Amino acid sequence: MKIAITGKGGVGKTTVTALWGAALAAEGRDVLLIDADPDANLGSALGVPAERLPRPLVALKDLIQERTGADPDQVGQYFRLNPHVADLPDAYRVEAGGMHLLVLGGIRGGGKGCACPQGAFLKAMLRHLMLERREALLVDMEAGLEFLGRASVLGTDALVIVVEPGRRSLETAAGIARMGREIGIKRFGAVLNKVTESAQVETIRRGLPEGVELVGSVPYSPALARADLEGRSVLGVDGKAESALAEARQKMESLIGAEAPARG
pLDDT for 10? 87
Residue 216: per-residue pLDDT: 96
In tens, the pLDDT along 241-258 reads 999 999 999 999 999 984
Please tell me the predicted confidence (pLDDT) of residue 184: 86
Q: How far is the CA of 19 from the CAs of 45, 98, 188, in angstroms?
A: 9, 12, 19
Among 152, 92, 89, 166, CA closest to 123: 152
Dump the DSSP string for 186-198.
--EEEEEEEE-ST
Task: Output the pTM of the full model.
Answer: 0.90
> For 218, how many CA atoms within 13 A lie in the half-sphere containing its CB?
33
pLDDT for res 154: 72
As its CATH architecture, domain 2-256 has 3-Layer(aba) Sandwich (3.40)
Q: Residue 2: its pLDDT value, please?
A: 93
What pLDDT does residue 262 have? 47
Distance (Å, whole) CA 248 – CA 84 = 36
Q: Which residues of the chain have pLDDT under 70?
A: 108-115, 144, 146-152, 258-264
What is the pLDDT, as a whole number, of residue 76?
A: 80
Quick one: 206 exposed, middle or buried, by C-beta within 10 A (0-12, 13-18, 19+)?
Answer: exposed
pLDDT the model gives residue 260: 46
**pLDDT at residue number 150:** 65
Strands 94-96 and 212-219: unpaired
pLDDT digits (tens, 9 = 90+) for 170-188: 999 999 999 888 888 989 9
Q: State residue 147's pLDDT score.
A: 64
pLDDT of residue 108: 63
Q: What is the pLDDT of residue 152?
A: 67
